[in-house]
Amino acid sequence: MNYKTSGVCSKEIQLEIEDDIIKSVNFVGGCSGNTQGISKLVEGMSVNEVINRLEGVKCGFRPTSCPDQLAQALKAYSHK
């Protein structure tokens, strides 16, 4: 699944999900170290657990962040 982000430096999030478990996450753009760290931390976690942990995280004064955009991508996946 590919998700076009909004309001953040990254442009897209590429996700591989199997049986509601996150297998891999790749952010296109954004702060490389942070997005790689997020990706490694959420691999192996359930979709709902990641949504619950990351939804609503803000980046400075922005109303969203790369972690929040990941949660939004997973919500879009869940509502398919």
Residue 79 is predicted with a pLDDT of 86
Residue 76 is predicted with a pLDDT of 96
Structure tokens at 17: 């999900």
In Å, how far are 30, 38, 56, 70 from 52, measured between CA atoms?
22, 14, 9, 11
Q: What is the pLDDT along the chain (80 residues), one digit of tens a residue?
A: 999 999 999 999 999 999 999 999 999 999 999 999 999 999 999 999 999 999 999 999 999 999 999 999 999 999 87
Residue 19 is predicted with a pLDDT of 96
